[in-house]
Protein backbone atom coordinates (compact mmCIF):
# COMPACT_ATOMS: atom_id res chain seq x y z
CA UNK A 1 0.00 0.00 0.00
CA UNK A 2 1.34 3.44 -0.92
CA UNK A 3 0.82 6.62 1.08
CA UNK A 4 1.88 10.23 1.04
CA UNK A 5 2.70 11.50 4.52
CA UNK A 6 3.44 15.01 5.66
CA UNK A 7 5.21 14.66 9.00
CA UNK A 8 7.40 16.16 11.63
CA UNK A 9 9.48 14.73 14.45
CA UNK A 10 10.52 16.72 17.52
CA UNK A 11 12.20 16.28 20.86
CA UNK A 12 9.51 16.35 23.55
CA UNK A 13 10.42 16.20 27.21
CA UNK A 14 6.81 16.61 28.37
CA UNK A 15 4.64 13.78 27.03
CA UNK A 16 1.99 14.53 29.70
CA UNK A 17 1.29 17.94 28.13
CA UNK A 18 0.78 16.32 24.71
CA UNK A 19 -1.45 13.60 26.21
CA UNK A 20 -3.64 16.34 27.77
CA UNK A 21 -3.98 18.07 24.40
CA UNK A 22 -4.82 14.77 22.70
CA UNK A 23 -7.46 14.06 25.34
CA UNK A 24 -9.02 17.52 24.77
CA UNK A 25 -9.07 16.79 21.07
CA UNK A 26 -10.66 13.36 21.75
CA UNK A 27 -7.93 11.57 19.82
CA UNK A 28 -8.27 7.79 19.77
CA UNK A 29 -5.61 5.92 21.75
CA UNK A 30 -4.59 2.78 19.84
CA UNK A 31 -2.20 1.46 22.48
CA UNK A 32 1.41 1.33 23.55
CA UNK A 33 3.75 -0.71 21.40
CA UNK A 34 7.31 -1.87 22.04
CA UNK A 35 8.80 -1.63 18.56
CA UNK A 36 12.11 -2.66 17.08
CA UNK A 37 12.77 -1.01 13.72
CA UNK A 38 15.61 -2.74 11.86
CA UNK A 39 17.02 -0.62 9.05
CA UNK A 40 18.70 -2.38 6.15
CA UNK A 41 21.41 -1.15 3.82
CA UNK A 42 19.80 -0.03 0.57
CA UNK A 43 21.11 2.14 -2.30
CA UNK A 44 18.38 4.78 -1.93
CA UNK A 45 15.59 5.63 0.46
CA UNK A 46 15.11 3.67 3.67
CA UNK A 47 13.97 0.11 4.21
CA UNK A 48 12.96 -0.98 7.70
CA UNK A 49 11.29 -3.93 9.29
CA UNK A 50 9.04 -2.86 12.15
CA UNK A 51 8.38 -5.54 14.75
CA UNK A 52 6.00 -4.79 17.59
CA UNK A 53 2.96 -5.98 19.49
CA UNK A 54 0.60 -3.71 17.52
CA UNK A 55 2.41 -2.91 14.29
CA UNK A 56 4.43 -5.34 12.16
CA UNK A 57 5.38 -4.21 8.67
CA UNK A 58 8.06 -3.90 6.05
CA UNK A 59 8.33 -0.22 5.14
CA UNK A 60 10.20 1.47 2.30
CA UNK A 61 10.20 5.26 2.27
CA UNK A 62 12.00 8.24 0.86
CA UNK A 63 12.04 11.75 2.23
CA UNK A 64 14.25 14.77 2.54
CA UNK A 65 16.18 15.12 5.79
CA UNK A 66 15.29 18.58 7.06
CA UNK A 67 13.88 19.98 10.26
CA UNK A 68 10.20 20.88 10.11
CA UNK A 69 7.41 19.33 8.12
CA UNK A 70 8.44 17.14 5.23
CA UNK A 71 6.87 14.77 2.74
CA UNK A 72 7.49 11.03 2.88
CA UNK A 73 6.51 8.69 0.09
CA UNK A 74 5.83 5.38 1.79
CA UNK A 75 5.19 1.83 0.58
CA UNK A 76 4.19 -0.53 3.37
CA UNK A 77 3.38 -4.22 3.57
CA UNK A 78 2.03 -5.98 6.65
CA UNK A 79 4.27 -8.77 7.94
CA UNK A 80 3.17 -11.57 10.29
CA UNK A 81 4.75 -11.19 13.74
CA UNK A 82 6.46 -14.58 13.43
CA UNK A 83 7.90 -13.89 9.95
CA UNK A 84 11.54 -14.73 9.22
CA UNK A 85 11.80 -11.98 6.60
CA UNK A 86 14.16 -9.98 8.85
CA UNK A 87 16.69 -12.81 8.80
CA UNK A 88 16.50 -13.00 5.00
CA UNK A 89 16.86 -9.21 4.58
CA UNK A 90 19.77 -9.06 7.04
CA UNK A 91 21.65 -11.74 5.07
CA UNK A 92 20.86 -10.20 1.69
CA UNK A 93 21.33 -6.50 2.48
CA UNK A 94 23.05 -6.16 5.85
CA UNK A 95 21.71 -4.32 8.88
CA UNK A 96 22.41 -0.60 9.16
CA UNK A 97 21.00 -0.02 12.66
CA UNK A 98 18.16 -1.10 14.96
CA UNK A 99 15.93 1.37 16.78
CA UNK A 100 14.32 0.19 20.04
CA UNK A 101 11.39 2.29 21.24
CA UNK A 102 8.27 2.40 23.35
CA UNK A 103 5.56 4.09 21.30
CA UNK A 104 2.15 5.41 22.33
CA UNK A 105 -0.07 5.56 19.23
CA UNK A 106 -2.96 8.03 18.83
CA UNK A 107 -5.22 8.92 15.92
CA UNK A 108 -7.04 12.17 15.19
CA UNK A 109 -8.90 11.29 11.98
CA UNK A 110 -6.19 10.57 9.39
CA UNK A 111 -3.40 12.02 11.55
CA UNK A 112 -1.28 9.56 13.50
CA UNK A 113 0.49 10.88 16.60
CA UNK A 114 3.32 9.04 18.33
CA UNK A 115 4.79 9.67 21.76
CA UNK A 116 8.09 7.84 21.60
CA UNK A 117 10.74 6.94 24.14
CA UNK A 118 13.74 5.76 22.15
CA UNK A 119 16.52 3.78 23.81
CA UNK A 120 19.74 5.82 23.99
CA UNK A 121 18.03 8.93 22.55
CA UNK A 122 15.19 10.12 24.80
CA UNK A 123 11.61 11.32 24.32
CA UNK A 124 10.06 12.47 21.07
CA UNK A 125 6.81 13.48 19.40
CA UNK A 126 6.03 12.43 15.85
CA UNK A 127 3.01 13.57 13.82
CA UNK A 128 2.08 11.99 10.48
CA UNK A 129 -0.77 13.34 8.34
CA UNK A 130 -1.53 10.39 6.05
CA UNK A 131 -3.29 10.51 2.69
CA UNK A 132 -2.87 10.36 -1.06
CA UNK A 133 -0.49 12.43 -3.17
CA UNK A 134 -3.28 14.78 -4.28
CA UNK A 135 -4.11 15.52 -0.59
CA UNK A 136 -0.74 17.20 -0.01
CA UNK A 137 -2.15 20.69 0.72
CA UNK A 138 -4.61 19.39 3.31
CA UNK A 139 -1.98 17.12 4.88
CA UNK A 140 0.37 20.10 5.20
CA UNK A 141 -2.40 22.18 6.81
CA UNK A 142 -3.09 19.40 9.33
CA UNK A 143 0.58 19.01 10.21
CA UNK A 144 1.00 22.79 10.65
CA UNK A 145 -2.05 22.81 12.94
CA UNK A 146 -0.45 20.19 15.22
CA UNK A 147 2.85 22.08 15.22
CA UNK A 148 1.01 25.11 16.62
CA UNK A 149 -1.27 23.17 18.96
CA UNK A 150 1.62 21.22 20.50
CA UNK A 151 3.76 24.40 20.67
CA UNK A 152 6.70 22.80 18.91
CA UNK A 153 9.63 25.19 18.49
CA UNK A 154 12.19 25.23 15.70
CA UNK A 155 14.82 24.06 18.22
CA UNK A 156 12.71 20.97 19.03
CA UNK A 157 12.46 19.78 15.41
CA UNK A 158 14.55 16.84 14.19
CA UNK A 159 15.76 16.68 10.59
CA UNK A 160 16.34 12.95 10.19
CA UNK A 161 15.11 9.70 11.61
CA UNK A 162 15.89 7.93 14.86
CA UNK A 163 18.24 5.74 12.85
CA UNK A 164 20.20 8.84 11.80
CA UNK A 165 20.45 10.03 15.40
CA UNK A 166 21.69 6.64 16.56
CA UNK A 167 24.23 6.39 13.76
CA UNK A 168 25.53 9.87 14.61
CA UNK A 169 26.23 8.87 18.25
**159/1 Cα distance (integer angstroms):** 25
pTM attached to this predicted model: 0.93
Q: What tens digit of pLDDT does each residue of 45-71 get?
A: 999 999 999 999 999 999 888 888 999
Q: What pLDDT shows up at residue 133?
A: 77
Q: How many domains does the chain have?
A: 1
Kindly report the CATH number assigned to the domain that includes residue 104: 2.40.320.10
Q: In which domain, by residue range, is 66 found?
A: 2-168
Tens of pLDDT along the chain (169 residues) come to 888 999 999 999 999 999 999 999 999 999 999 999 999 999 999 999 999 999 999 999 998 888 889 999 999 999 999 999 999 999 999 999 999 999 999 999 999 999 999 999 999 999 999 998 788 899 999 999 999 999 999 999 999 899 999 999 8
Amino acid sequence: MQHTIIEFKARCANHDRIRDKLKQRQARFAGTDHQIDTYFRVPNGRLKLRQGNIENALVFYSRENRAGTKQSNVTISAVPSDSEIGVVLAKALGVLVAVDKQREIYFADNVKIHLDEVADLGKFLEVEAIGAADDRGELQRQCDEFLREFEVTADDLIAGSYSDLLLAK
